[in-house]
Structures are given as structure tokens and as C-alpha cells.
């Protein structure tokens, strides 16, 4: 890291679901020794919690109140991050497709996004932060010195998601997953608040034909080129 940086350096990685950004963000954060923010997990926990509490997914006021005092915490465990709700590990539950759907629905509400803003910014701590989401570069960390927009074709993302779910023992069919991904893309891109789009100053990486390592190396090269790190 350069000595002249007054503020915590932030690497924003945005992109659609199953673009690989979660995996890439984790590896890059590990390689740099930086903190990691999985902002999608916050929306997922909120959707999950709302359902548990019987809060309607279009009740913006109630959801905002829930988001403001969301009892979520992140625990590092063996190189992985456990996501806890009320101290209970819900990492597995929140990765379910159904919870992704709930997250996508609460995420369209501006009061909810506002309530989660400060919480996300609190993750910016020395020596640096890798922030993974949809609006890291466009809303949450607009001054981030490096912004990446990671994407891939819907078919390729469907395949990746299918393999991921199979590995974890969840059932799914490929055509249904591709369909879900398209629907979620539409919702994330068309929504009025913080729509999914690359920041004007983002580097767009299409990972359809790239391996995870290719993407990681490309990002680390860029971080080094911009003097965010001594060497990558
Ligand atoms: O990245 P993910 O699949 O875990 O995100 C779940 C949902 O949360 C996704 O449909 C969009 C929403 N989300 C968002 O609106 N803004 C973010 N910064 C992160 C996620």
C-alpha cells in the first residue's frame, strides 16, 4: 500500500449473481490481506429474518426498522466467513435460491438500502477492503480507487450456480437456474434505486471464458498498477 493514502483503500467488485465475484473477492482479499465485505449476505440475512418475523416483503417501513437493528455478525472460521443471525450460524440457509429471491425483493426498497449503508461503510478498515456487491462502486464506495464490474453470460453463470448447488447438496435444474438468473438480473438492473450497472470508472471484466485464477490475477495486476499494493 502507498504511504500517501489518507483513507483506507477500497477495491469495489460489482456484478450480477453467479459472476464469480464472491469467490474472486474472497481470494483477492486473502492475497492482499484486506478485509472483505459480502454485501449480498446482508440483504440475504435481512430477507431471511423478515420471513422469520412474518414481515411483508413490501412493507418498506417495517423492513427498514428490521434492517436498522439487524442482529447480523460475521465470524471468521478456517478461512471462511460464517454469517450469523442472533449469534446463530445461518451461512448455509442464506445461500438457498429462495433466500436469494427474498434478498432481491427487499433490495429494491430505498429505505432498506439507506439503513444498510452505514453498516457497509463500517467495513472500511486498514489495511484495506474488498467490497463485493451490486452498488459498491456506484453508491456505497464511490471514491474507491479501483472498481471492477465482473460479468459473464447468463448460461455460463447458470452452469456455475448449478455446479455450486450440486456440490452443496442442493437440488436444482439448469434451465430453471438460467431462467432465475435472467429474472434476477432484470430485477437488479431495472430497479429504480441503485440499479446494477458498472460505475463510469469501472473496469468491466467478462469472465465467461476465464478461470477464477485469470480474473484474480487481472485484478491484482490492476491493483499493483494503480499502486494500491506494493506488489501483487
Ligand atoms: O450477491 P448475492 O447474490 O448474495 O445478492 C443477493 C441479492 O441482494 C441480489 O439479488 C441483489 C441484492 N444485492 C443488492 O441489491 N446490493 C448489493 N450490494 C448486494 C446484493
Cell of 149: 464490474
Ligand 1 pocket residue status of 132, Cβ below 6 Å: no
- Cα(94)–Cα(25) distance, rounded to whole angstroms? 18
DSSP three-state, residue 157: helix
Name the pLDDT band for 3 (thresholds 50, 70, 90).
very low
Which pLDDT value is given to residue 172? 84
With 80 as the cut, is the pLDDT of residue 232 above it? no
Looking at domain 8-225, its CATH superfamily turns out to be P-loop containing nucleotide triphosphate hydrolases (3.40.50.300)
Alpha-carbon distances, residue 170 vs 1, 90, 95, 163, 173 (angstroms): 41, 15, 10, 10, 10
Average pLDDT over residues 100-104: 91
Domain limits, the chain: 8-225
- Cα(104)–Cα(212) distance, rounded to whole angstroms? 25
CA of 14 to the centre of ligand 1 (A): 10
**What would the pLDDT profile of 156-186 be if each residue is shown by its tens digit?**
999 998 998 888 887 889 999 999 899 888 8
Identify the top-confidence range among 7-11, 113-117, 158-162.
113-117
Name the pLDDT band for 216 (thresholds 50, 70, 90).
very high
Beta strands in 45-188 (DSSP E): 72-77, 80-85, 88-89, 129-133, 146-151
Ligand 1 pocket residue status of 70, Cβ below 6 Å: no
Any idea how long the chain is? 232
**What would the pLDDT profile of 43-85 be if each residue is shown by its tens digit?**
999 999 999 999 999 999 999 999 999 999 999 887 788 999 9
DSSP three-state, residue 6: coil
- Cα(137)–Cα(197) distance, rounded to whole angstroms? 9
Ligand 1 pocket residue status of 134, Cβ below 6 Å: yes
- pTM of this structure: 0.91
CA of 53 to the centre of ligand 1 (A): 21
With 70 as the cut, is the pLDDT of residue 4 above it? no
- Residue 8, sorted as left (phi over 0), alpha (psi -120 to 50) or beta, turns out to be beta
Average pLDDT over residues 201-230: 94
Q: Pairing state of beta strands 10-14 and 129-133?
A: parallel
| Maximum CA extent, the chain | 51
Tell me the HSE value of 168 on the side-chain side, using a 13 A CA sphere.
14
Backbone angles phi, psi at 11, to 5 degrees: -110, 110
Which pLDDT value is given to residue 17? 85
Name the pLDDT band for 41 (thresholds 50, 70, 90).
very high
Q: Pairing state of beta strands 80-85 and 72-77?
A: antiparallel
Ligand 1 pocket residue status of 17, Cβ below 6 Å: yes
Amino acid at each position: 500500500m502507498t504511504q500517501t493514502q489518507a483513507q483506507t483503500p477500497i477495491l469495489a467488485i460489482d456484478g450480477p449473481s453467479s459472476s464469480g465475484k464472491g469467490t474472486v473477492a474472497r481470494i483477492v482479499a486473502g492475497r492482499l490481506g484486506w478485509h472483505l465485505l459480502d454485501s449480498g449476505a446482508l440483504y440475504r440475512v435481512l430477507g431471511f429474518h423478515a420471513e422469520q418475523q412474518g414481515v411483508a416483503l413490501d412493507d418498506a417501513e417495517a423492513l427498514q426498522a428490521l434492517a436498522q437493528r439487524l442482529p447480523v455478525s460475521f465470524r471468521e472460521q478456517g478461512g471462511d466467513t460464517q454469517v450469523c443471525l442472533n449469534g446463530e450460524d445461518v451461512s448455509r440457509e442464506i445461500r438457498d435460491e429462495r433466500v436469494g429471491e427474498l434478498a432481491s425483493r427487499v433490495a429494491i426498497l430505498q429505505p432498506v438500502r439507506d439503513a444498510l449503508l452505514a453498516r457497509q461503510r463500517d467495513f472500511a478498515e486498514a489495511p484495506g477492503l474488498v467490497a463485493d456487491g451490486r452498488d459498491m462502486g456506484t453508491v456505497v464506495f464511490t471514491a474507491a480507487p479501483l472498481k471492477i464490474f465482473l460479468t459473464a453470460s447468463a448460461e455460463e453463470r447458470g452452469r456455475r450456480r448449478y455446479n455450486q448447488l450440486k456440490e452443496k447438496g442442493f437440488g436444482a435444474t439448469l434451465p430453471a437456474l438460467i431462467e432465475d438468473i435472467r429474472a434476477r438480473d432484470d430485477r437488479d438492473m431495472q430497479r429504480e434505486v441503485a440499479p446494477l450497472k458498472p460505475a463510469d470508472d469501472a473496469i468491466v471484466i467478462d469472465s465467461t471464458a476465464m478461470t477464477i485464477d485469470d480474473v484474480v490475477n487481472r485484478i491484482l495486476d490492476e491493483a499493483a498498477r494503480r499502486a494500491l499494493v506494493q506488489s501483487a
